Amino acid sequence: MPSTTRPLRRMGFLTIGLFDGADPGKGHESTLEIIELGERLGFDSAWVRHRHLQYGISSPVAVLAAASQRTSRIELGTAVIPLGWENPLRLAEDLATVDLLSGGRLNPGVSVGPPMHYAQVKEALYPDTADSEDFGYERVRRLLDFVRGKPATDFSGVEGFEATRRQPHIEFSSDVVQPHSPGLGRRLWYGGGSLGSARWAGEHAMNFLTSSVVKAEDPEGPYDFAEIQRAQIREFRAHHPDGEAARVSQGLVVIPTDSATPEQRARYEAYAARRLPRTTAPQGPARLLFAPDIVGTSAEIAERLHAHAGFREVDEAAFALPFDFEHEDYVQILTDMAAHLGPALGRLPGSAA
């Protein structure tokens, strides 16, 4: 399976949606404005992160419901919803509802594992079942089944009873999650960073979200982020029924500076430099390996991406916006991505199929 540089067919962006705890509405409005800007600039997709008990979007499905009413074309995704915080059946209902409201533009991305800081939050989150909750792939499988229309119960039919003395009340019950959005099951993504998660996602016919973080699973190394990511993408496609046509999206942090002011360029470069040490070796017990942020002109970024073994395997990208920049910075970065980086990567507006 040779590596080839593929023209970029779909280009999106990812935002964490930070806000000030003293004025959270302003930050949420800023996120919605950024998504609206993305549509005007011709991006194919906009993705939001998911944060609990932090000053970032805690309810991406609700935010995307609002975004669906302020946009008409751009696809809307989550990258990702950690299912350890969710009830799969309830989440399936919410996802289907927003997908219908958006006209079939929702791309839910999910992941598994215990909630972050679980020891501190488990009594609030699962006071009666904290020690028996399953945070593995079974939680994803349940969500897949519910979204794809498999029965959630063995009961369906009509119930009638006398609601008042004069008028009977009739309820119609379904054995599958309602509303049902038929195309949503093909637009579910798994956010993974290991060979095992890539394999599982492929076997279950999901799409695969890669990011700027992978697991360095070989304790002996070498620790080449791009090569590790390429191996995971190939593992995913080797086990997916669509093979080479299976969808993969990459989410590196790239910061084009074509129209940036000198002050912005200096700040962007300092941001990337502060984060560079974590890219030299695996971090923590999970052995997470981070990709360097890429700062430069669109031509410089395109040259580095074309040489990136992981990027060479994909034709979709959702570039991650830095966490703590100002609204004006995001406007500049997105404008340069649309005007300069996309064409440098071979993408033409409206090229998504």
**Tens-place pLDDT, residues 219-239:** 887 899 999 999 999 999 999
Place of tokens 């941001």: 271
What is this structure's pTM?
A: 0.94
- Going by pLDDT thresholds of 50, 70 and 90, the confidence category of residue 353 is very low
Q: Is 313 helix (H, G, I), strand (E, B) or coil?
A: helix
Does residue 158 have a pLDDT over 90?
no
**Under 8 Å CB-to-CB from 180, ≥6 apart: which residues?**
96, 149
In angstroms, the CA 100 to CA 140 distance is 21
The residues spanned by each domain of the chain are 10-152+175-344
Determine the average pLDDT of the residues in 193-222: 95
What confidence tier does 60 reach under pLDDT thresholds 50, 70, 90?
very high
| Per-residue pLDDT tens digits for 307-343 | 999 999 999 999 999 998 999 999 999 999 999 999 9
Any alpha helices (H) in 239-341, and if so which ranges? 262-275, 298-306, 327-336
Q: Are 82 and 136 within 8 A, CB to CB?
A: no
Kindly tell me if the per-residue pLDDT of 4 is higher than 80: no
| pLDDT value at 270 more than 80 | yes
- Alpha carbon 163 to its chain's center: 45
Least Cα distance to 44 among 255, 324, 332, 348 occurs for 348
Q: What whole-number distance in Å separates Cα of residue 256 and Cα of residue 242? A: 34
CB atoms under 10 Å from CB of 93, counted, come to 18
pLDDT number for residue 82: 98
Query: 77: which strand partners?
Result: 47, 107
How far is CA 288 from its chain centroid? 18
Q: In the predicted model, is pLDDT for residue 166 greater than 80?
A: no
Closest CA to 40 of 15, 73, 69: 73
Question: Residue 170: what pLDDT?
Answer: 74
State the average pLDDT over residues 250-276: 98
Judged against a pLDDT cut of 90, whether residue 5 lies above it is answered with no
Give me the CATH code for the 10-152+175-344 domain, please: 3.20.20.30
pLDDT of 40 above 50 = yes
Q: Residue 6: its pLDDT value, please? A: 72
> 40 Cβ partners below 8 Å, 6+ apart?
none
Question: What is the reported pLDDT for 2?
Answer: 39
> How far is 27 from 42, CA to CA, in rounded Å?
23
Of 41 and 350, more confident: 41
Say which residue, 49 or 351, is predicted with more confidence. 49
Give me the pLDDT at residue 156, please: 87
Q: pLDDT tier at 172 (50, 70, 90 boundaries)?
A: confident
pLDDT at 1: 39
**pLDDT tens-digit readout, 141-153:** 999 999 999 999 9
Mean confidence (pLDDT) of the chain:
94
Tokens of 36: 């609206």
pLDDT at 84: 98
Q: What is the pLDDT of residues 73-107, one digit of tens each?
A: 999 999 999 999 999 999 999 999 999 999 999 99
At 162, the pLDDT band (50, 70, 90 cuts) reads: low
Q: For residue 102, how far is the Cα from the chain centroid?
A: 17
Of 310, 317, 313, nearest to 344 by C-alpha is 317
